């Protein structure tokens, strides 16, 4: 005698492979669930990996909170007062604006950011990104650090002198004309973000102030908090209540909300699109169970005549969809995890077979396809698939529960 509930025992028995058309449909339904869960696991993991890597790169080049709003006349005083705020760990003033860069008859228009090297390394990872230049920020005097992509495009090497034109250069006061500034390249950084590596250069605050004729003024102050998420949000909200008119504090997430929001929308869209594969498999399960229920009408009548209730009969049908879902989820999740673990070999294999770069590194700025499966995403996928598969048996379960024993036993 079996210790399993009779609904589960009969459910397994009815799903046992037989050489019938119903068994073929059941296998097709199982394959649909496996493929759906497999695709969901892989795609959502890759999207989450992109989101995670992008956030890491953004936080590497951005401080947790930025205080901006035109020109700040007393930057050092404001910096000192911001350091007294709860949850603020470090602060660094900066000057930032567009400049015209010229080298060897090549022209570029990057953003120039004037920083204090000693304080900058406390609010960003710029110091860690220095690939060439003795691995440190050397901005004493008229020096500059540029991105690897800009150096590659303009043919700039360490020790070269680049000419920088600022808005002040085109100003003219009487007979006085401001000349461009020559800066020596002492470092080349690589952040992994193309727009930063090609469109951002760094110099000292003093040099940037001279270029923009700011004297002791700055354009903003960067803050590092004890937490890049809740802490940064709390600090920004508190500062916005007491900063002088014209100044505002923004978190790194608020400054990059468009790109971060786009990834979240794409992730949600892909989830619902791929979930349709599981829905299609659920319809196959439904058709299988409807056919099976019609074929076993007499058996259902016998069970009811022996005392089985309508609830037990409906659970008998539903459990078959649940069993298909469990097997499909387990196999699909296993294949998904196996695929995620071997993404790089699969990528290299497809590139060799197809003869094209499946994942162009110069476009995505990642050395390999990033993947990260969060526990919440895994639970959402598995629970959704199980629920959809189980509900696939709802219609035949309700029909079977309403069968009268006499009518069912008359069925040929």
Last residue of a domain, one of 208, 232, 253: 253
Round to whole Å and give the CA distance between 284 and 276.
12
Q: Which residues face 184 on adjacent strands?
A: 143, 161
More confidently predicted of 231 and 14: 231
pLDDT exceeds 80 at position 13: no
If you ran DSSP here, which 8-state letter would residue 355 be given? S
**pLDDT digit string (tens) for 324-348?**
888 899 999 999 999 999 998 888 8
Same domain? 96 vs 137: yes
| Secondary structure, 3-state, 178-215 | CCCEEEEEEEEECCCCHHHHHHEEEEEHHHHHHHCCCC
Task: Taking residues 123-151, report their average pLDDT.
Answer: 86
pLDDT at residue 7, as a whole number = 59
pLDDT exceeds 80 at position 295: no
Last residue of a domain, one of 253, 282, 306: 253
What tokens were used for 402? 């309403």
Question: Which value, to the nearest 10 degrees, does the dihedral of the CA atoms of residues 76, 63, 132, 144 take?
Answer: -40
pLDDT exceeds 90 at position 191: no
Say if 1 falls within a structural domain.
Answer: no
If you ran DSSP here, which 8-state letter would residue 84 be given? T
Say if 384 falls within a structural domain.
Answer: yes
Task: Taking residues 160-179, report their average pLDDT.
Answer: 74
pLDDT at residue 26, as a whole number = 76
| Confidence bin at 318 (pLDDT 50/70/90) | confident
Q: Which residues face 143 on adjacent strands?
A: 184
Angle (deg, nearest 10), helices 6-15 and 310-341: 60
Three-class secondary structure of residue 308 per DSSP: coil
Q: For the chain, what is the domain count?
A: 2
| Confidence bin at 293 (pLDDT 50/70/90) | confident
CB distance 185 to 156 below 8 Å: yes
Same domain? 346 vs 238: no
pLDDT at residue 218, as a whole number = 95
Mean pLDDT for the chain overall? 85
First-to-final CA distance of the chain: 30
pLDDT at residue 1, as a whole number = 42
| Confidence bin at 367 (pLDDT 50/70/90) | low
Same domain? 31 vs 101: no
Least confident of 90-94, 167-171, 370-374: 167-171
More confidently predicted of 211 and 136: 211
More confidently predicted of 10 and 84: 84
Say if 289 falls within a structural domain.
Answer: yes
Same domain? 265 vs 249: no
Same domain? 96 vs 199: yes
Same domain? 302 vs 201: no
pLDDT at residue 145, as a whole number = 95
Residue (of 333, 324, 312, 332) closest to 386 by Cα position: 324
Least confident of 11-20, 34-43, 251-260, 317-326: 11-20
How many other C-beta atoms are found inside a 10 Å radius of the C-beta of residue 246? Answer: 10
More confidently predicted of 246 and 13: 246
pLDDT at residue 177, as a whole number = 61
Least confident of 74-88, 169-183, 359-373: 169-183
Which contacts qualify for 8-14: CB closer than 8 Å, 24 or more apart? 8/319, 10/316, 11/316, 11/319, 11/320, 11/322, 11/323, 12/323, 14/292, 14/296, 14/320
| Rounded percentage of the chain residues whose pLDDT exceeds 90 | 45
Boundaries of domain holding 67: 63-253
Task: Taking residues 116-124, report their average pLDDT.
Answer: 93
For 129, phi and psi rounded to 5 degrees? Answer: -90, -5
Least confident of 22-36, 101-115, 215-229: 22-36
Same domain? 162 vs 84: yes
Last residue of a domain, one of 253, 287, 317: 253
pLDDT exceeds 90 at position 160: yes
Exposed e or buried b for every residue in 265-289, given b needs 16+ CB within 10 A? eebeebbeebbebbbbbbebbbbbb
pLDDT exceeds 60 at position 34: yes
Angle (deg, nearest 10), helices 21-61 and 310-341: 50
Round to whole Å and give the CA distance between 34 and 336.
9
Same domain? 98 vs 173: yes
Round to whole Å and give the CA distance between 298 and 70.
82
Same domain? 108 vs 191: yes
Same domain? 217 vs 303: no
| Rounded percentage of the chain residues whose pLDDT exceeds 70 | 86
**pLDDT digit string (tens) for 209-256?**
999 988 889 999 999 999 999 999 999 999 999 998 889 999 999 998
Task: Taking residues 357-371, report their average pLDDT.
Answer: 74
As a residue count, the chain comes to: 412
Same domain? 27 vs 167: no
How many other C-beta atoms are found inside a 10 Å radius of the C-beta of residue 393? Answer: 31
pLDDT at residue 171, as a whole number = 61
* Burial degree of 220 (CB within 10 A; 0-12, 13-18, 19+): buried
pLDDT exceeds 80 at position 141: yes
- Pairing assessment for the beta strands 172-173 and 176-177 based on DSSP bridges: antiparallel
Exposed e or buried b for every residue in 31-70, given b needs 16+ CB within 10 A? ebbbbbbbbbbbbbbbbbbbbebbbebbbbbbbbbbbbee
pLDDT exceeds 70 at position 170: no
Same domain? 215 vs 190: yes
């Amino acid at each position: 005698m079996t210790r399993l509930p009779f609904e589960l025992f009969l459910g397994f028995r009815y799903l046992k492979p037989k050489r019938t058309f119903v068994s073929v449909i059941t296998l097709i339904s199982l394959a649909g669930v496996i493929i759906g869960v497999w695709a969901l696991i892989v795609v959502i993991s890759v999207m989450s990996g992109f989101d995670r890597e992008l956030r890491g790169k953004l936080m590497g080049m951005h401080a947790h909170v930025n205080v901006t709003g035109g020109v700040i006349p007393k930057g050092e005083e404001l910096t000192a007062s911001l350091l007294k705020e709860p949850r603020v760990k470090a602060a660094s003033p900066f000057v930032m604006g567009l400049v015209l860069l010229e080298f060897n008859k090549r022209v570029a228009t990057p953003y120039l950011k004037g920083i204090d090297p000693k304080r900058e390394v406390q609010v960003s990872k710029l110091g860690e990104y220095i690939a060439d230049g003795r691995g440190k920020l050397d901005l004493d005097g008229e020096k500059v650090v540029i991105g690897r992509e800009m150096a590659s495009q303009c043919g700039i090497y360490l020790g070269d002198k680049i000419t920088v034109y600022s808005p002040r250069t085109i100003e003219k006061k009487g007979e006085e004309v401001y000349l461009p500034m020559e800066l020596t390249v002492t470092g080349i950084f690589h952040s992994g973000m193309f727009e930063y590596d090609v469109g951002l250069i760094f110099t000292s605050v003093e040099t940037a102030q001279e270029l923009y004729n700011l004297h002791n003024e700055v354009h903003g102050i960067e803050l590092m908090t004890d937490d890049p998420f809740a802490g940064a949000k709390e600090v920004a909200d508190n500062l916005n209540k007491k900063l002088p008119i014209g100044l505002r504090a923004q978190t790194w997430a608020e400054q990059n909300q468009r790109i971060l929001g786009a990834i979240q929308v794409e992730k949600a869209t892909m989830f619902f699109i791929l979930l349709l594969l599981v829905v299609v498999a659920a319809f196959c399960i439904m058709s299988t169970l409807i056919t099976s229920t019609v074929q076993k009408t007499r058996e259902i009548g016998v069970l009811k005549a022996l005392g089985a209730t309508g609830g037990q009969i409906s659970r008998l049908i539903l459990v078959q969809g649940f069993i298909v879902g469990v097997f499909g989820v387990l196999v699909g999740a296993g294949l998904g995890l196996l695929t995620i673990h071997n993404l790089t070999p699969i990528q290299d294999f497809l590139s060799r077979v197809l003869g094209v770069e499946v994942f162009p590194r110069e476009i995505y700025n990642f050395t390999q396809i990033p993947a990260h499966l969060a526990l919440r995403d895994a639970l959402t996928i598995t629970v959704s698939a199980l629920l959809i598969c189980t509900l696939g048996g709802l219609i035949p379960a309700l029909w079977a529960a309403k069968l009268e024993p006499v009518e069912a036993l008359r069925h040929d």
